[in-house]
Structure 1
Amino acid sequence: MISKDHDRILDFAPIGMWWEITQSTADSDGRFFEAINVLVPGFAGPPLHIHPHAEESYQVLSGTLDVCVAGQWRELKPGESITVPAGTPHTLKNAHTEEVRLLNVHKPALGFERFFRRFHALVSAGRLKLPPKDFGSLVLVSMLFVDHEQEIKSAKPPHNMMRVLAFIGRLMGYKLPQ
């Protein structure tokens, strides 16, 4: 089901995914943030990361999702799900030939919705390219992660490296969307 509310659609087309927010932070009174994620074939996924204060779950609706949790990769098929406990390194990708649709939940919501909306604004404006191969993209993704370190921290590359890049970015005048 696709919402007619365009404010709930986050199209990250340049990196191979789009989301429909099905339960915003406000909708759940902060208990969780929920979205349907669609990942194109070959989607490389985010860096290995942790959520220090929240769990994240994935429920596959269609396609096959590759998920790495605590160093172990596994494939999830339609109807299967996994919950990643707070503080556990994880990532995901779509290494298959068909798109993946999944229900993604962050619990509690914390500032995840703001993080993803800011990330979307950077990608949509062409300011952030992923994977970040140019200096500006490295700086901006580092600044975003550091601004939201209560929600997300990179495990690889190390978060402390991102803190240094974010500091350099601020010195150089880089700014994030509000």
Structure 2
Amino acid sequence: MARPGDVLHLGEDRLTFLTTSAETNGAYLEVEAEYAPASIKPPVHYHPKQTERMQVTSGRLNLLLDGDLREYTAGDEFHIPPNTPHSLWNPGPERARINWRTTPAYRTEKVFETLWGLTNEGRLRPDGTPFLQMPLLVLGFRDEYRVVTGRPHLLDVALCTALAPLSLALGYRPTYRPAQVRETQPAT
């Protein structure tokens, strides 16, 4: 379980938990994310029942929101409504930092720990491989995070449901808690 001040690292990117879902009884989760220049653009995805509110505190960020490219700089605030396909990245050249609130929290802390931890350790690549890890992530986090695949979501769920037993039998897990990546910073 994430605690305020816990930090996840992904290469030069950093995510710090500011307010956890335990502190808000699940109402929201708040983090600070810091992205290196020209960070990798994450896949287009959406959150079926969650709203994201972000405020850029330094640098600039690009947001692809429902097919429309937008740029934000320090002081800008924006919202991403539920079910809206989007991707967010730092186009460079300086570091970018945002305060990010997800409402309601659901299991978003575990999403961050799992995706950042597996990717940081080379166990999950930006292209979604290894293939057999994906069914467990799709099923485990379907209320929090869905990648836009071009296929109907129910078809993705059916395919993942069929593959999940094989994934589990081969030792893949639906969630992951990074051991070496996690460190606690003093709360301020």
TM-score normalised by length of structure 2? 0.79
CA distance in 2, matches of 1:108, 1:55: 7
1:168 corresponds to 2:143: no
* Residue 56 of structure 1, aligned match among 47, 52, 59: 52
Contact 2:135 2:163 in 1 (8 A): no
Letter in 2 for 1:21: F
Deviations 1:112-161 (A, max 9, x none): 111111223322433112233xx41x432442133100111111354444
Q: How many Å apart are 1:17 and its aligned residue?
A: 1.9
* Residue 64 of structure 2, aligned match among 58, 61, 68: 68
Give the alignment's Cα RMSD to 1 decimal: 2.3
Structure 2 unaligned segments of length 5 or more: list them.
177-188
Alignment of 1:1-178 (within 5 A): 8-13=6-11, 16-132=12-128, 135-136=129-130, 138-156=131-149, 158=151, 159=153, 160-161=155-156, 164=159, 167-168=162-163, 170-172=165-167, 173-176=170-173, 177-178=175-176
Structure 1 unaligned segments of length 5 or more: list them.
none
Higher relative contact order (CA 8 A, sep 6+): 2
CA distance in 1, matches of 2:150, 2:89: 17
Letter in 2 for 1:150: D
Q: Which structure has the highest helix share of the two? A: 1
Percentage of pairs with the same residue: 24
TM-score normalised by length of structure 1? 0.83
Q: How many Å apart are 1:75 and its aligned residue?
A: 0.3
Letter in 1 for 2:140: D
How many residue pairs are counted as aligned between the two chains? Answer: 169
